[in-house]
Structure 1
């Protein structure tokens, strides 16, 4: 354990970002928001990284914003207004950076993921949870509706499930988060790291340039009307079809051999 608030390790084309404020339940202080954003942007540009995993040290994944830091800001002349605005702006910037990152991002969740911590899970492309994980958007319980977590939550679970979480503030267990669609898989706590690594390595074995194309297209089309989404997806697929990886992949399938994917480079980087 070090004093660094985010630890980075790379294995088999997968980068692991570990939030490292266990004493504060990995709450998203201003420094944590800035550091996670910087890491996501840098790893998105790294040619030797195909997948990113976000996990955490300590008893829980992330308890949301640092309420002690926010409370201390109320002592300022503007009662914390400028600090609150900067915090929410940096949080939104981080969540959008995860979505716009050209690499798939996987949340590896144990313990609690509440408020902006739940938002972080919802913002990731995929999530694997331990069976001891619990999720909540509990702001309503302390007079602060989880409005920014609502943005990510409402885009990843059904409307009624999102409203139930937002209006009650109740903690939901991992199996209910799976039912809601907030996470992809629930495993025992002892299996969490291995299950997350297996998923990350499976994705990292795909054609990396194709992953870039696919993730960008997914988020682009999902906000469009149906007709526009099909027009956009059709253009993307045609462009993808003439890429060397599509030619190699289809050829390998026809010839019943393993494909030989191009590594990421300046030319293939998104």
Structure 2
């Protein structure tokens, strides 16, 4: 696979970014989020046996908090991110041991796709808007801007209608807000948030996951030539439908695939053996704050 066809990871183990990685891994373990997990595109094995990852993540979370509190972070830069990396590199192999390497890789890929791949976020947004246009009726005020979808796409549209339906997504979002707890910390009035940050993360994941599932459904029904027809239509439609339409954000047929492309960097599982001795040694370096 060429680098052009790979997904680009927009991530480094900086202090701020790494904390979001840990939060993303927590999403499948949140009790209040359980009704929404089937919508997130998580590995099926995690949905069938959620307690396995819940246990592994809980251990990782406790280890991170314990080691974090034992360190004196004065004057450090980037070391908080390195601590998170070490904890995650230790947790993913445990998941691989108990549920299979593919499950661990798919979970890692899920985190990367939804939170650390800017191109993917833009592509899902552009495909979402473009595919929804295919359902515009003649009564719509924007119908005159609609380009009829190609014949190969027409019989597939009923199969993905529920995935793309705006009202359904709104209902899901409203249901999420009803169960999401407030942030677990005291808030400053002018920075008040009604719901925790995890709810915002889940909302974005749901939108992207539903769009991705629609694209995968389309791809599963078409050959290469037919997929090219859909891309040509989508690019033309995106160009004329919205003032801020950006056909280039569709990325051609890169995301119109049954399976996502690989990322342009190795899996963290490939580094777990190398880090094992470093993980053991790092505990000796942790020191209590005076």
What is the TM-score of this pair, normalised by structure 2? 0.20
Considering fraction of residues, name the structure with more helix.
2
Q: Could you say which structure has the greater relative contact order, defined with CA pairs below 8 angstroms and 6 or more residues apart?
A: 2
- What is the TM-score with the length of structure 1 in the denominator? 0.21
Report the structure, 1 or 2, having the larger strand content.
1
